[in-house]
Amino acid sequence: MYYGMPVGALSSKIAAGQGKPAQNDKILTTCTYCGTGCTLELNIKNEKIVGVTSNRDAEWSPVNKGALCVKGRFGWDFVNSPERLTTPLIKENGEFRPASWDEALDLAAKKLNAIKEKYGPDSLATFASARVSNEENYLAQKFARAALGTNNIDHCARLCHSVSVAGIGAAFGSGAMTNSIEDLAQDAACTFVIGTNTTENHPVIGYKIRQNVVKNGAKLIVADPRRVELAEIADVHMQFRPGTDVALLNGMMNVIISEGLLDQEFIEKRTEGFAELKEILEKYTPEYSAGITGVPAEDIRQAARIYAEAEAAAICYSMGLTQHSTGTDNVKSVCNLAMITGNVGRPGTGINALRGQNNVQGACDMGALPVVFTAYQKVIDDAAREKFEKAWGRPLSGTNGLTVTQTIHAAYDGVIKGMFVFGENPMVSDPDIQHVEDALDKLDFLLVQDIFLTETAMKADIVLPGVCFAEKDGTFTSTERRVQRIRKAVSAPGEARDDWWIISQLASRMGYPMSYDSAEEIFEEMRALTPSYAGMTYARLEGPGLTWPCPTEDHPGTPILHKEQFTRGLGLFHALDFKEPVELPDEEYPFILSTGRSLYHYHTGSMTRRSSGLNSHMPENRLQINSRTAAELGINGNEHVRLSTRRGSIILQAEITDILKDKVLFTYFHFAEAAANRLTDSHALDPVAGIPEFKVCAANLEKI
């Protein structure tokens, strides 16, 4: 299969570097990279991973049926990296020294308790992780709430899909992908892809969308400021100005209403709030929307007709839609579009929010969020809180906690005094890294638990070595809400220990006893408190997994949500006016800068940049520049340029390409040494969900 990357060249490089195994044990598990949830086989020889193969049996490979992208197939060698953390580390006089588990855990517990006693529990905060398992996220939020005594727990879903939880939740009542990946492969007569470079960021889903177009003749609409790969086969590509999503979507809905293409019966029977939406849409004629977005009015008309006239039309989006100061509005707007055409609750339809990391859906489901326990049970709800208090044997706080971005600001302001960062790397992932660094420097105590000495771990007082996906049992929940097993294939290096063991030890030493013998025991405790996971057991998850909600042990799971009615009863339309991004280009900073992901790297690069094959294909950061911009500045290609915003500057390699328009720039956020997030703005936030506006800030570019 083809995902736009030279797999053959990469294959021979890795084969030459590692040697092919003569005979392998094969352990079936779930990919540790994107949220697609592909299954793969880790090939083991002499207790080491020596390769990855795949299983074509749909029973064991329900999502990818044997297909893997370049990261899943070749991105495994970080597991064997000599840079893995193998012992606890304690910082003394600015230098780390190895320590025993007893010494490191006792000291960490003592430091956290001292801050709690002196400043109160809300002076502490925990970052959980979209990379680690459901069981580990469940324990992390239990640790924050029961042991630390605060709801200050969040994770990097805040930075990618917090607005999906808020926006789809407000419109439909349940903030998750409504349909299945298989729907996109065969049931969607039309797929509308907005703000997702699917073939690079969710390659197996991108492949399925492509196959549906090429083999089944499905229609494809792409809306993206860049001419991404799927645009090449689209019926319409709307190359809109970054940050004008609501204006574009309102323009499409104006056409649908004025041409009578709406689903009146669906609107009347299953929704509320249409009159207010209709009123606001009146001014968004295609010409008016064209003036804001830069998309020709005729393209808006054509896209609206194709989407509305399809028998079943699916919307897919990702961070291109969400990472805006209007992210929640953008998500509500795609929900409006789906509802006015009746494209919800049937095969091949729905709002398909493609989640970026392997277990970002699961981390949210497990309550690693500041306002909810597992399954989105609100911490301010007395009945929900009493249930968890009874189960956990502790009084719990009923005050909503701080988000990731609020936590960093609070640390900077001296309100947060101590942090436990588990599997996250805010020194690369969060906006305005200088601000993050200044905030972390002000903490009295920083504890980091990870598998590498990440940029954030380097700032810690104590570092605890955990295990990676190949070294543990557990579950991940994919973007389509499918809960699947991960299985231990190899032992952890050195003295690295199971993350659930570390958290349990830490809690116990703080005076809140936690004791577990296995990940399965934690899963059992979790499902008893989590209605949407209640019917799942490890035995039931052995095959293709189960999609939530799965309330009882005889329930088959729910691939399509909102079939007969929405989770909230009636679907709610939101009347939304277009708002400009927070920071627009001006004379000093005349370009729009967007940031995003590459096919070859994953999140903050801590794993993929230690994967030799992947890293060799993209060893340094690049800046995509339109050829006209490049010519004006005398940039000839492949040379290094200085990119600046009001937050800072980085130097990176130019890539001249006309996939984006003049005056728009695009760079990647995986590279600590040329970190895109040195440039992004930590104050330009969505007011509802707090997501930063990673997709639009004003920038300047210089030849050097």
- Residue 184 in the binding site for ligand SF4 (CB under 6 A): no
E strands, 499-600, are: 546-547, 571-572, 591-596
- Residue 367 in the binding site for ligand SF4 (CB under 6 A): no
Q: How far apart are CA 497 and CA 465, in angstroms?
A: 7
- Residue 204 in the binding site for ligand SF4 (CB under 6 A): yes
Cα Rg, the chain, nearest whole Å = 24
Quick one: 217 exposed, middle or buried, by C-beta within 10 A (0-12, 13-18, 19+)? exposed
Shortest spacing between CB 63 and ligand SF4, in angstroms: 8
- Give residue 649's region: left, alpha or beta (phi > 0; psi -120 to 50): beta
Choices 34-42, 323-331, 423-431, 689-697; region in contact with ligand SF4 by CB under 6 A: 34-42
Quick one: 182 exposed, middle or buried, by C-beta within 10 A (0-12, 13-18, 19+)? middle
- Residue 10 in the binding site for ligand SF4 (CB under 6 A): no
Q: For ligand SF4, which is the closer residue by CB, 449 or 598? A: 598
Choices 66-74, 132-140, 349-357, 566-574; region in contact with ligand SF4 by CB under 6 A: 66-74
- Name the token pair of 253: 């809905």
Q: For ligand SF4, which is the closer residue by CB, 202 or 385? A: 202
Tell me the three state secondary structure of residue 458: helix
In sign, the C-alpha dihedral spanning 653, 657, 659, 663 is: positive
Q: Pick the closest to residue 484 from 312, 628, 361 (CA basis).
A: 361
Q: Which of 28, 68, 190, 314 binds ligand SF4 (CB under 6 A)?
A: 68
With contacts defined by CB under 6 A, how many residues of the chain interact with ligand SF4? 14
- Residue 33 in the binding site for ligand SF4 (CB under 6 A): yes
CB 667 within 8 A of CB 623: yes
Q: How far apart are CA 586 and CA 700, in angstroms?
A: 10
Count of other CB atoms within 10 angstroms of residue 599? 21
Choices 200-208, 327-335, 341-349, 438-446; region in contact with ligand SF4 by CB under 6 A: 200-208
- Residue 105 in the binding site for ligand SF4 (CB under 6 A): no
Q: Which of 88, 173, 175, 203 binds ligand SF4 (CB under 6 A)?
A: 203
Q: For ligand SF4, which is the closer residue by CB, 152 or 477? A: 477
Name the helix (H) or strand (E) containing 427: helix 426-429
- Residue 237 in the binding site for ligand SF4 (CB under 6 A): no
- The 10 Å CB-count burial string (b at 16+, else e) for 332-345 is bbbbbbbbbbbbbb
Choices 65-73, 123-131, 386-394, 413-421; region in contact with ligand SF4 by CB under 6 A: 65-73
Choices 62-70, 88-96, 115-123, 561-569; region in contact with ligand SF4 by CB under 6 A: 62-70
Lay out the site mask for ligand SF4 across 529-568 (x = CB under 6 A, - = otherwise).
----------------------------------------
In DSSP notation, 276-305 reads HHHHHHTT--HHHHHHHH---HHHHHHHHH
Q: For ligand SF4, which is the closer residue by CB, 37 or 549? A: 37
Q: Which of 71, 208, 237, 603 binds ligand SF4 (CB under 6 A)?
A: 71
Q: Which of 72, 225, 367, 545 binds ligand SF4 (CB under 6 A)?
A: 72
Choices 31-39, 299-307, 415-423, 535-543; region in contact with ligand SF4 by CB under 6 A: 31-39
Helices 297-309 & 245-258 angle (0-180, nearest 10): 60
Contacts with ligand SF4, residue ranges (CB under 6 A): 31, 33-34, 36-38, 64, 68-69, 71-72, 202-204
